[in-house]
Structures are given as C-alpha cells and as structure tokens.
Structure 1
Amino acid sequence: MLLAFDVGNTNIVLGVFKDGNLIQNWRLETDNNKSADEYGMIINQLFSYVGLSTKEIKDIIISTVVPSVLYTLQHLSMKYFNKRAIVVGPGVKTGLVIKYDNPKQVGADRIVNAVAAYAKYGGPLIIVDFGTATTFCAITEKAEYLGGTIAPGIKIASDALFEKTAKLPKVELEEPGHVICKNTIESMQSGLVYGHMGMVDYIVKKMKKELEQYSSSGNSAKVVATGGLATLIESGIDCIDCVDKLLTLEGLELIYEKNKGHKGWK
C-alpha cells in the first residue's frame, strides 16, 4: 500500500492507496511546531481506528509547499514506517510539459493537481484550487502546463479583515443570501464570499479566452475545482464544471506509478 501526503499551508491531507484505489483519507492541521513523533502518534491512531497497520505501507510519497514540514515528515517516514519518502520535485516524471518561465517555481501541489485532472478529464483544462491561496492553472489539450494565477484565499482575506481593523470581528465563511446587508457580520460574509465568487468567475472567463489560442480542436476548457472551500464557492457561480476534492491525492498516486522503480527513487 502507498501512503500519500499533501502538505499545504493550512492542512495536511493524507491518504492510503491499495492497488491504485484510495481506501482511506484524513485531514490534519499543518503545524510547523509538531515533531515527527507527534505526527507519528496521530497517524498511528488514525490507522488503528480503521484497522490498518503501518507495516502494510510499502511506499510513501510527499508533496509539500511548506519546506519546514518536509524534514519532519521524512523523519516520520523512516522512524514509523521504515521507508524513505519520495518527494515530488524537480526531475520527477509527470507526463506534463511545463511551460512556466522557471519550472522550479511551480508549487508541487499545482503540478500534482494538473497530473490528476488531465488524466481524468483531458484538456484543455482549468484547475481552481481553493486552499490558503486560490490558484488557477491552465493546461492545454497537449498536456502542456502553461501557468496561471495566484490570488489570496478567502480565509486569508477573512483573517486580514479581522487583524487589520479595529472593530471588525471574525466571521464564519458562509453565504448570507443577499448583498444589501443590515449588520456587520453579514456584510463581511457577503464581501468575502460573493467577492471571491466574482473574482473566480472573472479570472476563469479570461483564462478560457487566453486558452483558445492553444487549442486546435476548438474545445472549451473544462473547469475543475478542488480544495476545502470549493463547494462553497462553486454553489454561487456557473463557470465551474465539477468539484473534485481528492484531486491532489489521486495525482500523487499517479506520479508514484509513473516513477516507481526509477533510479534515484529508492
């Protein structure tokens, strides 16, 4: 079995694959201060709860945008699973042609998402990932990763309003149902949620237009959303074709299959 870690700035999503199928997945808070032993004990408890044994794990793969957590998880892999973790990074076979000016600057999570989405849906394709940042990635029908847009995530915007103002409170991220709001809480919710919906709609429309020059088939780009807040934002706009919350984990499994057995991965 394969254990996959997707490490984001806010959450760590981990999943267990058996024969290419995702059989369990969990979401933990990303904590730079947690030790390998602390994460190890949490994972042991999660495994025990569903009847899995750490001895069943044959390989581990990690995608991370948080370098400080990488060493911790590598240490965890050796101590609790007796495995040297595979880390997604430069030199890894993905099946994509990276057209970014500097391919090393592309976040591992964006590449992993693109691998999974292209395998499942083909191209042209736009992937919107609602994480700590909201990212937009464009992939052509020829599996070319062109690049995209990075915007502040909705939680970052909410925290900024609370931290940078004297009187505005923290609010739950939910739709108030209207934009002419008569109290501060709903006014903030309206600005945060509907403002984010408007941003997503605008960027997707512009990205679709720019993608047309790369398409020989004339097909319109399919828009796939992922990330923790994808369902909230997708509910209010029409530009998203589907929500696929486990996209990154599936991408990690695909990358593992493309690279296992290659020199340098063991």
Structure 2
Amino acid sequence: MLLALDIGNTNITVGIVENSEIIMVHRIKSHTSANEGLTDIDLSKITNVIISSVAPKKTIDYQNWCRMHLNLKPFIIKHNNIIGLKLDVDKPSSVGADRICNIVGANKKYSGRKIIVDFGTATTYDVINKNGIFIGGAISPGIDVSANNLYNKAALLKNTAFKFPKNVVGRNTETNLQSGIMFGAVESLEGMIIRIQNEMNWQNCRIILTGGFSTVISPGLSIKHDLEPFLTLFGIEVINDINKLHIIKI
C-alpha cells in the first residue's frame, strides 16, 4: 500500500492507495503535527510513502515521522526527479510539487491540450500543450483566502457559508457576500480560461478542476469541464507507478 501525503499551506491531504485505487482520503489542517495527524490512521500495511509538499518545515516533520514509525524513507516529489516530466518554463525548480502531481495525473488521464485549475490556498492555472508539456500558468489568491481577508478587514462582516445563493442580487448581507464570493469566483475563473485560450490560440482544450473548492465551484460554471477533486493524489499514485517501473527496468 502507498501512503500519499499532499502537504499544502492550509490543509494536508492524506491518501492511502491500494492496487492503483485510492481507498481512503483524510484531510487535516497544515498546522497539525505528523504525530497528531497520522497516529490514529491504520498504516500497518503501508510499504511506500510519497510526499508532495509546498511547506518545507512540515515536509521534514512528516518525513521524520515516517522514518521513525513506519521504517520507510519517503520519496519527496521535486521538479527534477520525476521520469518523463517536462516543464518548459523559465525556472522549473519554482514549480510547486502539487502542480507537478496535477500535471502528471492529468497527462495520465487525458490527452491533448489542458488547463488545470486547482482551488487551494492559491488558485493555480496549469497550462499543458498537446505534447503534455507544462508551458506556464497563473496564480491568484484562493477563494477562502480572499474571503477571510475581507472578513478580517471589515468589522461588520461575518463569515458565511461558501455556497451559491439563488440570486446574484442579494437581499441581505449573507447573500450579498455569497453572491460576491461565489459568482465572483466563477467569473474570475471563466474569464481567466477565456484569456488563456485566446492567448494560446486554442479553440478547444480540456478544462480540469481539482482541489478543495472544486466541488463547490463546479455546479456554477457554464463552461464544459472535468471534475477531479483528488487529481493531486492520483498524480502521486502515477508517480509511484512510474518509480516502480523504473526500478524494475534497472
């Protein structure tokens, strides 16, 4: 069994993969220590660990825990240790591990041109050409980051549920906020996709949504898209399979 750890700035997604199938997904807050986050999960059958992380200090904590408690050395995903990965950007080393996993996972599932939108602490747009090469993208503040910043700055506004209201024109403060946050996110997303397609001169490409807020935003979109909430974990699984094949060939 594979223990797949996706360590983000806000959440850590813990996945267990058996026979190329994700059989368990558990989310914990990123401030949670490895001892707190992993102790209560049955990891007795784990034979391999792969970590995708954008939080270096947390990487060390979870890496050391796996060595101590599972007697396993985790494979840490980097831009230069994934067989077949092609990053045609100015500084490949700056591409986050989560984006790398999304690229690998999307290329495994889908052929042709792709735009991956990952809703996390930041909303990232990964642009992949017809040859499966990552050629760049965009990064914007995540939906919850923008909303929480608004709440923190405006004393009279309170947290509200992230859901689409019935109408764009809200009748109270709560529905005003929901309209601005949710419909605003949709317009931003669809506008960015149109801009990317126009700049790339792509009439058709596959749009893939992933990340924590993907299931919330998906129903509000007017553009055709594929919903892959656990694309990052799937990418980790694919990387694990690639590594095993490489070891066998060697």
Q: Which structure 2 segments of 5+ residues have no match? A: none
Counterpart secondary structure, 1:4: strand
Preserved CA contact (<8 Å) 1:224 1:240: no
Q: Match for 2:237: what amino acid?
A: E
Is 1:10 matched with 2:5? no
**1:255 paired residue number:** 239
1:242: how far off?
1.1
Runs of 4+ deviating beyond 4 Å: none
What is the CA RMSD across the aligned residues, in angstroms? Answer: 1.7
Q: Name the CA distance, whole Å, in 1 between partners of 2:58 and 2:226.
A: 31
**2:35 paired residue number:** 37
Within 5 A, what are the aligned runs for 1:110-149? 110-149=99-138
Q: Name the CA distance, whole Å, in 2 between partners of 1:141 and 1:74.
A: 36
Preserved CA contact (<8 Å) 2:28 2:37: no
1:193: how far off?
0.5
Preserved CA contact (<8 Å) 2:79 2:100: no
Residues 205-235 of structure 1 show CA distances to partners (whole Å, capped at 9, x for unaligned) of 111223336xxxxx71100100111122121
Counterpart secondary structure, 1:137: strand
Preserved CA contact (<8 Å) 2:164 2:220: no
1:262: how far off?
6.0
Query: How many residues were matched structurally?
Result: 247
Counterpart secondary structure, 2:44: helix
1:241: how far off?
1.3
**1:197 paired residue number:** 186
1:260: how far off?
3.8
**2:204 paired residue number:** 220
Q: Match for 1:93: what amino acid?
A: I
Instruction: Compute the TM-score of the two structures, normalised by the length of structure 2.
Output: 0.93
Q: Which structure 1 segments of 5+ residues have no match? A: 48-53, 214-218
**2:26 paired residue number:** 26
Instruction: Compute the TM-score of the two structures, normalised by the length of structure 1.
Output: 0.88
Q: Name the CA distance, whole Å, in 1 between partners of 2:221 and 2:45.
A: 43
**Residue of 175, 183, 196 corresponding to 1:186:** 175
Preserved CA contact (<8 Å) 1:122 1:141: yes
Q: Match for 2:35: what amino acid?
A: D
Counterpart secondary structure, 1:160: helix
